[in-house]
């Protein structure tokens, strides 16, 4: 009797492969349909004028793309209104002042010696600061009133404000060679309110309750996007309080910082995911433990320089996150739990560039700066995103990305202060 099973056996693997490819193609098509390619809102600001007193990093030969920095500073000037209100972007829903973005702009300007321009930005934030409670997610400009768009107040704003204020005071001190208390004294009420708010939010666990963060969405768990800015903020606030001899705040904030740092290491270490790890897997001796669940988040960069002193555990977490979050187009997505669409976000890519520069990893910093430079809009502005087809997308220019690029260039040019 003839056995006909052999031909069927030979063809069976091909049939299975064809079926799997069909399923994969269908899944890809559905995903692309659900996550269409983002488009560019605008190429840049029409008719923008150059800065009146441009002071680029001193050693331009050390930078991969000095023209990138010049254009970035031009855009920051265009995004900053006469009263110091610094817009996140020029168009539509971006045309507001985010405390986070404005803080980075102030720090970027101070990193290159533009202290008067930075003082305008900090002055606007001081004018709109909350008397108590959390900072709003964003404020309208130039009036400075909170928009009624349903966004919850965000606790991370208190941390960013403290860091930017300290950073500007510290860079002025470094440049003058003498301790400068003028800026710090001027903004002490804003510093005290932000520091006290952080302390008031820390619960018995050592961590604050959930709050929206830079992902701009409600959260049911506390996130690293809130924790990391609070740690660097309290460290910065402590440095300011010591400089100004506010002993009560020093004692109170130091205790809170110790509790917050200890709880963060315990709940988020060793890989510092977006939300506290459910468990930690110890595979075998010599292999780094891996936190289970939570997902990597680009904000882990804020646990290291220039926002906090370097530690081996956080350096490994930063490098792990970059490997996990790098997209096929070469940029970085905000987190593992972000939508899977292959789109890179320039603020998060620039955060890794700044982190690398501040930690002395010059090759990675240059590589990421080159990537950001390559994907600018035709007018030279840095966009919010880069889509799967390697085209700029979203708003352009974006203040946060632009400020981060300036800070990265400064970190390549000279060491940045670390609270």
368 is a domain residue: yes
Both structure tokens of 401: 């990305």
pTM of the predicted model, to two decimals?
0.87
Mean pLDDT of 144-156: 81
191 is a domain residue: yes
| pLDDT for res 1 | 46
Q: Evaluate if residue 215 carries a pLDDT over 70.
A: yes
| pLDDT for res 268 | 95
Asked if 174 contacts 114 with a C-beta cutoff of 8 angstroms, the reply is no
Q: Which of 397, 403, 364 is nearest to 383 (CA)?
A: 397
Q: Evaluate if residue 24 carries a pLDDT over 60.
A: no
CATH number reported for the structural domain that contains residue 124 in this entry: 1.50.10.10
| pLDDT for res 57 | 46
| pLDDT for res 59 | 46
| pLDDT for res 50 | 47
Q: What is the pLDDT of residues 267-281, one digit of tens each?
A: 999 999 999 976 555
The range of the structural domain enclosing residue 214 comes to 49-413
* Residue 178 φ/ψ region, left for φ over 0, alpha for ψ in the -120 to 50 degree band, beta for the rest: beta
| pLDDT for res 173 | 86
| pLDDT for res 175 | 79
Confidence band of 51 (pLDDT split at 50, 70, 90): very low
Query: How many domains would you assign to the chain?
Result: 1
Confidence band of 49 (pLDDT split at 50, 70, 90): low
The per-residue b/e assignment along 201-224, b for 16 or more CB within 10 angstroms, e otherwise, is: bbeeebbbebbbbbbeeebeebbb
291 bridge partner residues: 280
| pLDDT for res 143 | 74
Both structure tokens of 132: 């108590």
| pLDDT for res 183 | 81
Q: Evaluate if residue 17 carries a pLDDT over 80.
A: no
Q: What is the pLDDT of residues 328-353, one digit of tens each?
A: 999 999 999 998 899 999 999 999 99
Q: Which of 72, 125, 119, 50 is nearest to 410 (CA)?
A: 72
Asked if 274 contacts 210 with a C-beta cutoff of 8 angstroms, the reply is no
Q: Evaluate if residue 366 carries a pLDDT over 90.
A: yes
Q: Evaluate if residue 192 carries a pLDDT over 80.
A: yes
Mean pLDDT of 387-407: 97
71 is a domain residue: yes
| pLDDT for res 7 | 55
Beta-carbon contacts of 216 under 8 Å, excluding residues fewer than 6 positions away, are 137, 151
Mean pLDDT of 371-391: 95
Confidence band of 10 (pLDDT split at 50, 70, 90): low
Mean pLDDT of 187-200: 97
36 is a domain residue: no
Q: How many Cβ atoms are within 10 Å of 131's Cβ, its own excluded?
A: 6
* CA diameter of the chain: 100
Mean pLDDT of 215-236: 97
| pLDDT for res 132 | 86
| pLDDT for res 277 | 74
| pLDDT for res 142 | 76
Q: What is the pLDDT of residues 52-62, one digit of tens each?
A: 444 444 444 34
118 is a domain residue: yes
| pLDDT for res 35 | 64
Query: CA 418 from chain center: how many Å?
Result: 16
Asked if 142 contacts 113 with a C-beta cutoff of 8 angstroms, the reply is no
Q: What is the pLDDT of residues 90-107, one digit of tens each?
A: 999 999 999 999 999 999
Arithmetic mean of pLDDT over the chain:
87
| pLDDT for res 66 | 79
Q: Evaluate if residue 31 carries a pLDDT over 80.
A: no
Confidence band of 65 (pLDDT split at 50, 70, 90): low
3 is a domain residue: no
Q: What whole-number distance in Å separates Cα of residue 240 and Cα of residue 142?
A: 28
* Residue 280 φ/ψ region, left for φ over 0, alpha for ψ in the -120 to 50 degree band, beta for the rest: beta
110 is a domain residue: yes
Asked if 175 contacts 238 with a C-beta cutoff of 8 angstroms, the reply is no
């Amino acid at each position: 009797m003839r056995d006909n099973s052999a031909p069927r056996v030979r063809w069976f693997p091909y049939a299975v492969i064809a079926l799997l490819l069909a399923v994969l193609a269908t899944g890809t098509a559905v995903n692309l349909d659900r996550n269409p390619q983002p488009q560019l809102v605008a190429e840049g600001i029409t008719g923008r004028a150059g800065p009146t007193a441009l002071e680029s990093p001193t050693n331009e030969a050390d930078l991969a793309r000095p023209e990138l920095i010049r254009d970035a500073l031009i855009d920051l000037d265009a995004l900053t209104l006469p009263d110091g209100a610094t817009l996140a972007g020029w168009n539509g829903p971006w045309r507001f002042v985010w405390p986070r973005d404005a803080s980075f702009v102030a720090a970027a300007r101070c990193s290159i010696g533009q202290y008067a321009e930075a003082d305008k930005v900090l002055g606007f934030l001081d004018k709109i600061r909350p008397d108590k409670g959390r900072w709003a997610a964003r404020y309208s400009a130039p009036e400075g009133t909170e928009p009624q768009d349903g966004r919850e107040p965000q606790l991370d704003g208190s941390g960013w404000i403290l860091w930017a204020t300290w950073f500007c005071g510290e860079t002025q001190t470094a440049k003058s060679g003498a301790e400068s208390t003028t800026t710090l004294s001027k903004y002490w009420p804003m510093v005290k309110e932000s520091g006290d708010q952080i302390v008031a939010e820390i619960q018995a666990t050592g961590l604050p309750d959930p709050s929206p963060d830079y992902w701009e969405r409600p959260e049911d768990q506390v996130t690293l996007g809130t924790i990391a800015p609070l740690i660097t903020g309290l460290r910065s606030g402590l440095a300011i309080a010591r400089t100004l001899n506010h002993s009560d705040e020093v004692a109170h904030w130091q205790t809170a910082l110790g509790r917050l740092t200890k709880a963060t290491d315990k709940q988020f270490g060793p890989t510092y995911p977006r939300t506290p790890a459910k468990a930690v897997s110890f595979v075998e001796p010599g292999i780094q433990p891996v936190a289970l669940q939570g997902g990597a988040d680009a904000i882990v960069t804020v646990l290291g320089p220039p926002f906090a002193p370097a530690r081996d555990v956080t350096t490994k977490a930063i490098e792990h996150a970059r490997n996990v979050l790098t997209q096929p187009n070469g940029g970085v997505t905000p987190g593992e739990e972000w939508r899977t669409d292959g789109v890179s976000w320039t603020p998060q890519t620039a955060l890794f560039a700044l982190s690398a520069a501040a930690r002395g990893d010059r090759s990675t910093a240059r590589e990421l700066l080159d990537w950001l430079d390559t994907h600018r809009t035709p007018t030279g502005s840095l966009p919010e995103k880069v889509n799967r087809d390697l085209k700029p997308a979203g708003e352009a220019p974006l203040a946060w990305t632009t400020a981060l690029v300036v800070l990265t260039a400064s970190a390549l040019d000279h060491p940045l202060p670390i609270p």
